[in-house]
């Protein structure tokens, strides 16, 4: 059992644009976050992951950075940020910053210089290839749609962008560039930052798939399909660890699309000295048609979810570490996605929280999750701000042959703006988020779902999350216990145990809106039991050999053996 502060922590993600506006311009800001730190302290979280607040033209809401060492004026000043850090540390809350180094903004000085000529010293900070304007160097498709290549008229070459054309990819093969990045990271760590969440970090290695520049010049290039987790990424991260992380007490989590458990071990096994955790996305793909895009929906099968989450629990049981999440700024609201956001919103939100927080790993809470915020069903595409959503609508409806109603159904289910509607603080105009006009419309249900109401109700989702967080601080078995799935083939129940020494947690979750029965397996024996938490009125004296569970009911028992 290895104790490290980031293993024992609960992380709360803030998407600053949508958290709290302090000056009436409709955009959340740093001073707004400062004003709500006591709320986070009350919830009990240990770490805040702050989405980007760096200088940015906002093509992708801050994930296109034009200056890594300045604060975007919309969010405030460096003095505001320094006050935020100090106030957080005074409350015992650590700060993890978003690190976006697969790409920059096309307005970053490095890229502006690289555009000037082919022999500019900064040209090789990015990935350029020769070719005709209408013949991209590869057939790779960008994450936001279209080609991954854009043609520069002045130098008559293509540059690579795996996302938006305004997000040119950095060339990690360039050692001078890597030193620039490490210097920037030290800038923030020296200011007192406690770690980094690293955006699409497993995409930085491209040499394995892209033919050299010289091959393109000679017309002999042979390209491969791009894949995540290129072999060189581990060389880069180990160098980053030596140069930066090894000199600080940090928490590091890498966003790694299309990573497998075996690959995750390469990133997170302690002896490899790379990262502490990764964000994987396998469980976030279980409600889409296999081989299709996220917009192509299918119902979630509980068996698939049990199999997937358990696979990660087992594989990273002894080496590496799991990050546990349902929501973030790129994912729809979990109570709408896997729960029931109408008849059983509170019960299903609490069930999903229990299922996740009792697993082995570091739990992440996304702003509003703790009060059961839901997806939003905007009526028209014009109400959406997300570049991915808008591009998909354009490709499928305006340029394709998809029906508008079906596309809007997909958007209602999966748009990133579901997570980005402003935080619902109270029942006043604009949910107490701003005194002005919000940058993105507030979910109309804010009068029924808001922080003020949640704080006043001792049985609210907020207070349930607070209880889950406190239990993690009190019981080592929640942090370090061995995970075992039971009743693997049960169609409605997700049940598992966590075992440490002579203590065992029995975690019961009825995943659906129908009542069902649980029978304790004969393999589980105990001398005493205690009901630690339940989203219904639990009875401590109830026999656990046979339990009748209500819709979306969760219970966690502590068994002493």
Question: Cβ–Cβ contacts within 10 Å for residue 485, how many?
Answer: 16
Pair 287, 405 in one domain: yes
DSSP H helices, 155-250, are 175-191, 213-218, 232-243
Residues of the chain with pLDDT below 50 are none
Residue 539: the pLDDT is 82
CATH number at residue 128: 3.90.400.10
What is the set of active-site residues? 199, 255
Please say whether the beta carbons of 205 and 194 come within 8 A. Answer: no
Pair 450, 461 in one domain: yes
Question: Number of folded domains in the chain?
Answer: 3
Pair 118, 75 in one domain: no
- Does 153 reside within a domain? yes
Residue 145: the pLDDT is 86
What are the tokens at 336? 């709408």
Residue 1: the pLDDT is 52
Q: What is the DSSP letter of 248?
A: S
Residue 3: the pLDDT is 65
Pair 514, 532 in one domain: yes
Residue 554: the pLDDT is 98
Pair 258, 177 in one domain: yes
- Does 4 reside within a domain? no
Token pair 């994450």: residue = 143
Distance, in Å, from the CA atom of 227 to the CA atom of 273, rounded to the nearest integer, reads 23
Pair 360, 439 in one domain: yes
What SS3 class is residue 98?
strand
- Does 473 reside within a domain? no
Pair 414, 492 in one domain: no
Contacts of 292 (CB under 8 A, 6+ apart): none
Which domain covers residue 83, as residue numbers? 11-106+172-466
Residue 263: the pLDDT is 97
Distance, in Å, from the CA atom of 392 to the CA atom of 398, rounded to the nearest integer, reads 10
What are the tokens at 19? 């958290």
Nearest to 376 by CA among 346, 420, 343: 420
Pair 48, 179 in one domain: yes
Distance, in Å, from the CA atom of 383 to the CA atom of 441, rounded to the nearest integer, reads 7
Pair 91, 137 in one domain: no
């Amino acid at each position: 059992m290895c104790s490290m502060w980031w293993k024992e922590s609960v992380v709360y993600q803030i998407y600053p644009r949508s958290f709290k506006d302090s000056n009436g311009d409709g955009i959340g800001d740093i001073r707004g976050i400062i004003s709500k730190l006591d709320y986070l302290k009350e919830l009990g979280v240990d770490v805040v992951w702050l989405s980007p607040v760096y200088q940015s033209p906002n093509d992708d809401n801050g994930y296109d950075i034009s200056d890594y060492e300045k604060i975007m004026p919309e969010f405030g000043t460096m003095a505001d940020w320094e006050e935020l850090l100090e106030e957080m540390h005074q409350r015992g809350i650590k700060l993890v910053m978003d690190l976006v180094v697969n790409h920059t903004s096309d307005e970053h000085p490095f890229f502006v210089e690289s555009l000037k000529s082919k022999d500019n010293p900064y040209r090789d900070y990015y990935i350029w290839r020769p070719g005709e304007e209408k013949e991209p160097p590869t057939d790779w498709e960008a994450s936001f749609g279209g080609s991954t290549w854009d043609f520069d008229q002045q130098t008559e070459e293509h540059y690579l962008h795996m996302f938006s054309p305004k997000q040119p990819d950095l060339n990690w093969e360039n050692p001078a560039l890597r030193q620039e990045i490490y210097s920037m990271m030290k800038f923030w760590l020296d200011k007192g930052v406690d770690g980094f969440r690293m955006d699409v970090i497993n995409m930085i290695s491209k040499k394995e798939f892209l033919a050299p520049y010289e091959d393109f010049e000679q017309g002999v290039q042979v390209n491969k399909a791009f894949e995540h987790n290129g072999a060189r990424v581990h060389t880069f991260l180990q160098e980053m660890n030596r140069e930066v992380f090894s000199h600080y007490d940090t928490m590091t989590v890498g966003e790694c699309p299309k990573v497998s458990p075996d690959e995750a071990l390469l990133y997170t096994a302690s002896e490899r000295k790379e990262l502490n955790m990764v964000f994987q996305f396998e469980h976030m793909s279980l409600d889409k048609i296999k081989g299709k895009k996220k917009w192509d929906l299918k119902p979630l099968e509980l068996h698939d979810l049990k199999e997937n989450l358990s696979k990660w629990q087992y594989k990273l049981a002894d080496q590496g570490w799991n990050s546990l999440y349902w929501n973030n700024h790129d994912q729809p609201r979990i109570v709408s996605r896997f729960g029931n956001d109408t008849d059983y919103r509170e019960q299903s939100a609490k069930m999903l929280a229990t299922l996740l927080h009792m697993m082995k790993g570091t739990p992440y809470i996304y702003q509003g999750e703790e009060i059961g915020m839901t997806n939003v069903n905007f009526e028209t595409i014009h109400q959406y701000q997300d570049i991915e959503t808008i591009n998909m609508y354009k490709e499928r409806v305006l340029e394709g042959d998809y029906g508008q109603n079906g596309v809007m159904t997909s958007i209602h289910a999966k748009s990133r703006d579901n997570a980005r509607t402003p935080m619902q603080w109270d029942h006043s105009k604009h949910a107490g988020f701003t005194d002005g006009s919000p940058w993105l419309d507030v979910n109309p249900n804010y009068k029924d779902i808001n922080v003020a109401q949640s704080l006043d109700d001792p049985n609210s989702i907020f207070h349930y999350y607070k209880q889950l967080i406190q239990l993690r601080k009190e019981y080592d078995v929640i942090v370090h216990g061995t995970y075992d799935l039971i009743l693997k083939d049960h169609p409605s129940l997700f049940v598992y145990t966590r075992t440490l020494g002579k203590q065992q947690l029995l975690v019961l979750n009825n995943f659906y809106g129908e009542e069902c029965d649980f029978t304790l397996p004969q393999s589980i024996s105990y001398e005493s039991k205690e009901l630690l938490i339940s989203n219904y009125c639990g009875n401590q004296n109830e026999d656990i050999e046979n339990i009748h569970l209500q819709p979306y009911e969760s219970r966690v028992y502590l068994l002493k053996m």
